[in-house]
Amino acid sequence: MTYFAGIDVGSLSTEAVIIDEDATMLGYSIQETGADPVRAATEALREALSLVGVSREQLHHVVATGYGRINIPFADRKITEISCHAMGAHHLFPDTGTVIDIGGQDSKVIRINAEGRVLDFTMNDKCAAGTGRFLEVMAGTFGVPVQELGELSLKAQKEIPISSVCTVFAESEVISLIAQNRPREQIIRGLHRAVVSRVWGMAQSVGIEGAVTMSGGVAKNRGIVALFEENLGHSIHIHSEPQIIGALGAALLARGEIHQK
């Protein structure tokens, strides 16, 4: 049996996925990236291999993606995360036409064809607005874990609009609203609306076609997903572990390298 690995080195987390020659996903690992992307990638791969029961020597090809991909010395190839998220989403949900990826430091909207290849995309990597980092900062302002924001926003019957999408100004606005004793659930829903509006504008510029798949850690936020679905008028594909979609795509492209030879 031949095995392939994909590693997605993000700003906040690093994922490793192992697949076999039939493109079956066998296992994965998620690690905090921290200050050492190489260590995080090494540990993620080690843990994923251990869970699957495969040795490093049994890996035929390794592809790295994500912002830290250039630093991974044991990768056979480095591929942009745009292509990897497109391929991973297509593999999990073949009817995907649009991928919305909200990661720790950037957000992307990718339009793909029936084979999972990229047709067009847009990316926000210059500002924290509309990213996981934005939500982390806001969670800190409320003193709650970022994982709880989605459930809190779903409790709100209405939302308090946040006028700024700039992280610094939005944080000041939130602090002011908290001081006014405004309901935190409504403030959080307003923050989520600000994120969705920012990314929705990106999606409109690329064009939304086919089924929509959401990847990245923010896809675990049910409040964000609900607002996207409200805008779309239909449901979004969400994998049980949306953080691994980029690494899965990298593994599939690693397998494709061999099959093309």
SS (H, E, C) 103-154: CCCCEEEEEECCCCCEEEEEEECCCCCCCHHHHHHHHHHHCCCHHHHHHHHH
**Is 217 found in the same domain as 153?**
yes
What is the distance between the alpha carbons of residues 16 and 254, in angstroms, rounded to a whole number?
A: 13
**Sign for the pseudo-dihedral over CA of 207, 193, 249, 233:** negative
State the residue range of the domain holding 73: 1-93+241-261
Q: What is the pTM of this model?
A: 0.93
Query: Is the domain of 77 the same as that of 119?
Result: no
Q: Are residues 197 and 248 in the same domain?
A: no
Question: Could you tell me if 252 and 171 lie in one domain?
Answer: no
**Is the same domain home to 126 and 137?**
yes
pLDDT tens per residue, range 139-167? 999 999 999 999 999 999 999 999 887 88
- 140 and 187 in one domain? yes
Same domain, 192 and 175: yes
**Using one digit for the tens of pLDDT, what is the confidence trace for 63-98?**
999 999 999 999 999 999 999 999 999 999 999 999
CATH number at residue 36: 3.30.420.40
Same domain, 103 and 62: no
Instruction: Output the CA–CA distances (angstroms, integers) from residue 258 to 152, 220, 251, 252, 253, in the order listed.
Output: 47, 33, 11, 10, 9
Domain count for the chain:
2
Is 106 in the same domain as 18? no
